Chains A and B, each alone.
Chain A
């Protein structure tokens, strides 16, 4: 146990502790500590479970990095105690046990994130950064005036948006996306009761991702094929799944993002359930693809690349659908249409809306 840092920090001492590492593997703890300190965090290390929990209680770190195998307590017990409701300390689990069940159990007990050992420095920083942010948010939310301040901030924002001449429709879109974000955060704060549901959802997602990786024998060189299947299953590449894939296949998240950005087929943002793909191949181009694109864009109220706020449709352009002889063409989900006019497009959209309602 590293006592040097521990003794220098007590209640009320300055600077406040950002991260407490609970890990008995000195080499691994030192590596994490170096990475975090280089980024400006104040870090302490505990090599024993009981001492670690004590330190967590007295020093109130923003984030605890917990190794599930730490001696002195069982990992899950420690996690449960750290993740007590109302605590501003955010537990992040590190472990060599990469099974879905272990991950899900951790999430269920309130772990904010789940890192596979050996820990990838980039992922560590990313996870800690988000943990510290969340901790700060929780502390603020506990303050008595916080609620009112937040509402006032919201009003300021609305006023500013109007003064900038934002149109009502735009504003509504903006609010819808803010609401989504707000719900997401509220889930993080454990205040909506949706947490169990969210965890169940995540569990399902991870199992699906595992099934896909298993199909390719967890092979690194099958990464592109794996990602294509994930894209097809989820209509985008959700962040938590990429993190999972990165850990399972031992590929740095950076490399996965590199591939996701390079290829057109991948989306790092959610896409609609229905896709409208306007072909911009040469044959379509010379026979009026741009007019068709304007028409589709007007019918959907979306620019190319956009998805509506309800995640129903995404409008995209593609290089060539291979229907050159019938140019200009559009592919809606798996159906092809030859130069549809506005009323045809409206019919297609209406059918989809009806299906969604049903």
Chain B
């Protein structure tokens, strides 16, 4: 019988789990996060298994399919234990060599190790790779060490230890006090103190009470919650059970967006296993405390990440927000007190209970404690998931960890906080990242999306992108948000297509102010942020679009055209083959030209033209009439 009835049972099980892991001499930890999967991690793991079997090394070497390791740029990624050697961009054909060397007790294949561009040398240990060296991975480190579908893996690394500690020696009040003392703030975006929220629900009249995990990570460009839930679902569950114990809830919900099938699968398996082992259900660890969780899939609506809308969806209704003069922590699901936190917040709780509030307070800044996971993506060399203590300067994250902007381009801005956030220009790069500093700079922490933008990113287009997203996702219940986003989008569309007028920017600002004050929920109140912050820091770019009809980044398609330099063209025909519109023709002189009337400006020819020729160029739309179009080549063209 697997059922764990007491704390002693759990400790016995842990001994078994550890012994099971130690029985093998080496482990290959293959990342099977969504990023590595896209690069063929499944086939790689199968190939490794095959090679091990072929050599009958199954008793000494094991393959562990783990969650996201974070360094997606190196995908697919394999870490060899116990040496901690990190192999990058591993292909199935490399499997034989990896197993051969491991079986012979030799070091890892050198070509697969991280190449340090400065020294030209290879770095083997994961901890020494610059991307990892400057991080402090409290939550993410376990992703590398466990197979998410195995509760024994989680137990082996100390999992459910915090729960055992709380249920055997702490009252619900003291669990709550510990979280309050840790000054944990909600990681979902608002940064509301989690302990205070818990307390409100605990003290609110009405039974039953509910606890809810918000895994409806709707911010485009953020994927840490999905990766955490996929890679380490039990840590989220353990946090939730601890919260339920502190608050006095017997039932919980896990709200996962259905666009995350992998996270959903992990969560389902984890809940089943936890039930099987008696860590969910009646009388958990013999404490008399009972609790269970139901999964609710989100059906694809950004606004459903808002607490009242999410709870409405759990009830089976359309996920629209309601006015919150009474907080959901007091009246939430079916009018009962309901405490909602996001994935990262819940996953932090077991660490706080295990290591104590003092430890947690030792990390981070005065106002924001602990570490935070960011999804560092966009125009940055080392894309991936990054975890750092609160207060780490943006410059460290983007340049030390992220390795800066690739291809010799220059940094323009970093966008944080998703559609509710804003852009931060280079002048503010030394800003320490925490809840309050980012808000002060006109952006926000949000759930942790960090999208780096370079000279080829247009700020008008960025604002338009987010406004389009929000106009589409506005539920339409309140007028300021529904109409405001729509009008803003119309103006931005005009500006991006060269039809902007003097006075447009002032109207945008006016609309922004109105929406911030009058919208019903946070979606509408923060919807103008992308426009406001780009206007604040990059007004010049807007004015160029309006007054000169120019997009310096070469992004706004109405303002650019593609052309082929007659001198540089070597007639290879790559552009013609790539053109989906049949707009590239061969001229009498055997070089290629673009028929502008047919061109749909998809940029396929621009990408197809071999770099050494660089014959296809982006030019301002009005320059195409001139003969020497290259003279007008924009920043977006190749050197």
Contacts and interface: CB of A to CB of B under 8 A. Distances in A.
Interface of A: 219-225, 227-228, 258-259, 262-266, 280-288, 290-291, 294-295, 298-299, 318-327, 329, 334, 336-338, 342
Specify which of A223, A288, A325 lies most central, judged by the most chain B CB atoms within 10 Å of its CB: A325
Interface stretch (B269-277, B323-331, B375-383, B490-498): B375-383
A262 B301 contact: yes
B457 interface: yes
Nearest to B300: A264
Nearest to B468: A280
A282 B451 contact: yes
Interface string B34-61: 1101110000000000000000000000
Given A258-B318, A280-B220, A318-B259, A326 B600 contact: no
Contacts of B261: 334
B186 interface: no
Contact of A221 (B316, B462, B604): B316
Nearest to B600: A294
Interface string B575-612: 00010110000000000000000001011100100000
Contacts of A295: 580, 602, 604
Specify which of A264, A282, A290 lies most central, judged by the most chain B CB atoms within 10 Å of its CB: A282
B573 to A, nearest CB: 14
A271 to B, nearest CB: 14
Interface in B278-333: 296-297, 299-302, 313-320
Given A281-B220, A294-B604, A322-B260, A222 B383 contact: no
A264 B316 contact: no
Contacts of A290: 602
Nearest to A259: B318
B221 interface: yes
Given A264-B299, A325-B383, A286 B451 contact: yes
Given A223-B316, A286-B453, A291-B602, A319 B297 contact: no
A344 to B, nearest CB: 13
Interface in B96-148: none
B312 to A, nearest CB: 10
Contact of A319 (B299, B316, B318, B469): B469
B537 interface: no
Contacts of B578: 342
Given A224-B316, A326-B38, 6 more contacts: A224-B296, A262-B318, A283-B383, A291-B602, A322-B223, A323-B38
B73 to A, nearest CB: 7
Contacts of A280: 220
Contacts of B451: 282-283, 286
A287 B302 contact: no
A266 B318 CA distance: 13
Specify which of B72, B258, B384 lies most central, judged by the most chain A CB atoms within 10 Å of its CB: B258
B465 interface: yes
A338 B379 CA distance: 16
Contacts of B38: 323, 326, 329, 336-338
Given A222-B316, A325-B384, A342-B578, A319 B379 contact: no
Closest 6 CB pairs of A and B: A325-B72, A264-B300, A298-B580, A281-B220, A282-B221, A336-B38
Nearest to A266: B299
A221 B314 CA distance: 7
A342 to B, nearest CB: 7
Given A224-B299, A281-B221, A282-B220, A291 B315 contact: no
B223 A323 contact: yes
Given A266-B299, A326-B35, A326-B75, A320 B602 contact: no
Nearest to B71: A325
A336 B34 contact: yes
A120 B101 CA distance: 72
Per DSSP, are chain A's interface residues mostly helix, strand or loop, or mixed?
helix
A269 to B, nearest CB: 16
A283 B223 CA distance: 11
Contacts of B301: 262-264
Nearest to A319: B220
Contacts of B35: 323, 325-326
B237 to A, nearest CB: 20
Contact of B221 (A227, A324, A337): A324
A229 B316 CA distance: 14
A228 B317 CA distance: 13
B34 A321 contact: yes
A282 B443 CA distance: 16
Contact of A225 (B73, B297, B457): B297
Nearest to A263: B299
30 contacts: A224-B299, A225-B296, A228-B258, A258-B318, A262-B475, A263-B319, A264-B299, A282-B221, A282-B418, A283-B220, A283-B378, A284-B220, A286-B457, A291-B602, A294-B604, A295-B580, A295-B602, A319-B218, A319-B259, A319-B302, A320-B220, A324-B221, A324-B223, A324-B449, A325-B73, A325-B75, A326-B75, A326-B383, A336-B34, A338-B39
A178 B315 CA distance: 40
Nearest to B227: A322
A295 B600 CA distance: 11
Contacts of B319: 262-263
Interface string B235-262: 0000000000000000000000011110
A334 B42 CA distance: 13
A343 B221 CA distance: 27
Nearest to B603: A291
B29 interface: no
Given A220-B316, A223-B316, A280-B220, A324 B383 contact: yes
Contacts of B465: 282, 285
B219 interface: yes
Specify which of A319, A322, A329 lies most central, judged by the most chain B CB atoms within 10 Å of its CB: A322
Contacts of A225: 296-297
B58 to A, nearest CB: 29
A10 to B, nearest CB: 50
Interface string B462-495: 1001100100000100000000000000000000
A232 to B, nearest CB: 9
B424 to A, nearest CB: 14
B217 interface: yes
Specify which of B221, B462, B475, B600 lies most central, judged by the most chain A CB atoms within 10 Å of its CB: B221
B226 interface: yes
Contacts of A283: 220-221, 375, 377-378, 383, 451
B371 interface: no
A322 B384 contact: no
B338 interface: no
B375 A325 contact: yes
B415 interface: yes
A320 B222 contact: yes
Specify which of B296, B297, B378, B462 lies most central, judged by the most chain A CB atoms within 10 Å of its CB: B378
Contacts of A281: 220-221
A291 B555 CA distance: 11
Contacts of A323: 34-35, 38, 72, 223
Interface string B437-452: 0000000000001010
Contact of B449 (A282, A318, A326): A282
Contact of B223 (A219, A320, A334, A337): A320
B299 A265 contact: yes
A327 B72 CA distance: 11
Contacts of A336: 34, 37-38
A326 B259 CA distance: 17
B607 A263 contact: no
A215 to B, nearest CB: 13
A286 B636 CA distance: 13
Contacts of A299: 580
Given A329-B38, A338-B39, A288 B259 contact: no
Contacts of A337: 38
A319 B298 CA distance: 14
A45 B418 CA distance: 61
